[in-house]
Amino acid sequence: MQKQIFLIDKLKEDRTLTKQEWVQLITERTPEAAEYLFAIAREERHAHYGHDVYIRGLIEFTNYCKNDCLYCGIRKSNSRANRYRLSEEEILSCCRTGYELGFRTFVLQGGEDASYTDDRIVRLTGSIKDRYPDCALTLSIGEKSCQSYRRYFEAGADRYLLRHETSNEAHYSRLHPPSLIASARKECLWNLKEIGYQVGTGFMVGSPYQTAEHLAEDMLFIRELNPQMVGIGPFIVHRDTPFADQTSGTLELTLFMLGLLRLMLPKVLLPATTALGTIDPKGRELGILAGANVLMPNLSPTGVRKDYSLYDNKICTGDEAAECRSCLERRMEAVGYQIVTARGDSLNRL
């Protein structure tokens, strides 16, 4: 316990640890150390972002994907996935609804779907930014060439989310088909940063074969990249994937990693993810109390939500889903936080 407190204090002081120290802090964590960590993480969060919670309207516009990531329910080999694409009109209609609900950031997320050509993404980006110049637009559409990223940026996209998934190359290879490699993923992230995007990366907690060393390497990579946002959530089994028999990640370790991220990058934007809300009914509230400051509720039309099934039992896909905004408002107020209508740009320097 003494050693844990020492390492947490050192992290707060230096904003980094050695790989060995990360491993020790993660493997020897205790509930008491976690409470101590969360209290300091909240202090940091309150110093920079107060009790505000930013919301992002997530529009899952296509579940077609050319990739075959072993963990993911919309991988191309999953013939049981019910595939859909939203038209540009449908996407714009989601934005309209979202704007009225107070969203000032839209996140367009989808599988790597060739039918959404660069020209279409550029046109869509332009249309959204024309209609909602006061909103931020985030793209989350996977690995693209530097040239493509530049075109989207010039069309008005402000931010880009691309989780690195795991920093360790050998581990990355166990989660992905041979066509996907960790270095290419990282290259994309550096390109995005160079172009001028506000960049989000992240990883799954408790993914198959993950060790504390891997998590330590994730922390070191994130520290080096210095992104504006870090999205983490537990790995959750999807029954129609090769990982059907694996075990899901835990609430407890995900919360601990959230606290560590808040201390390492005090001004980073940190979402309490839908996956966190899925493994525990109070997951998102606990995420906020561990240092998170962003929620990304779904704005996709309710009819398609259950089909964007990355993992089993995803929340907010049923009839209640249209009410996410007010539901989250109540949930946040219950733990002493408030949802705000703001773009919510990162204070972490570009």
Residue 214 beta carbon to ligand FES: minimum distance, rounded to whole angstroms: 31
**What is the rounded CA–CA span in Å between residue 16 and residue 295?**
26
- Per-residue binding string, ligand 5AD, 304-333, x by CB under 6 A, is ------xx----------------------
Q: Is 199 helix (H, G, I), strand (E, B) or coil?
A: strand
Cβ burial, residue 80 (10 Å; 0-12/13-18/19+)? exposed
Q: Which residues pair with 53 in a beta bridge?
A: 339
Residue 189 contact among ligand 5AD, ligand FES, none, beta carbon within 5 to 8 Å by kind: none
Which spans in 143-282 are helix H?
146-155, 169-175, 182-195, 212-225, 251-264, 274-279
Task: Build a one-symbol-per-residue string for 219-248: x at contacts with ligand 5AD by CB under 6 A, - elsewhere.
Answer: --------------x-xx-x----------
Closer to ligand 5AD at the Cβ: 218 or 329? 218
CA pair distance 5, 11, nearest whole angstrom: 10
* Binding to ligand 5AD in span 243-272, by CB under 6 A: none
Q: If contact means CB under 5 to 8 A according to the sort of partner, which of ligand 5AD, ligand FES, none does residue 323 touch?
A: ligand FES
Residue with tokens 């309710």: 302
Residue keyed to tokens 């909103």: 135
Residue nearest to ligand FES (CB): 327
User: Which residues would be at the binding site for ligand FES (CB under 6 A)?
Assistant: 297, 316, 320-321, 323-324, 327-328
> Which of ligand 5AD, ligand FES, none does 32 bind, CB closer than 5 to 8 A by kind?
none
How does strand 198-205 pair with strand 338-340? Answer: unpaired
Q: Residue type for 207, please?
A: S
CB of 67 to ligand 5AD, least distance (A): 10
Which residue in this structure is represented by tokens 């994130």? Answer: 222
Sites of contact with ligand 5AD (CB under 6 A) = 71-72, 163, 165, 204, 233, 235-236, 238, 275, 310-311
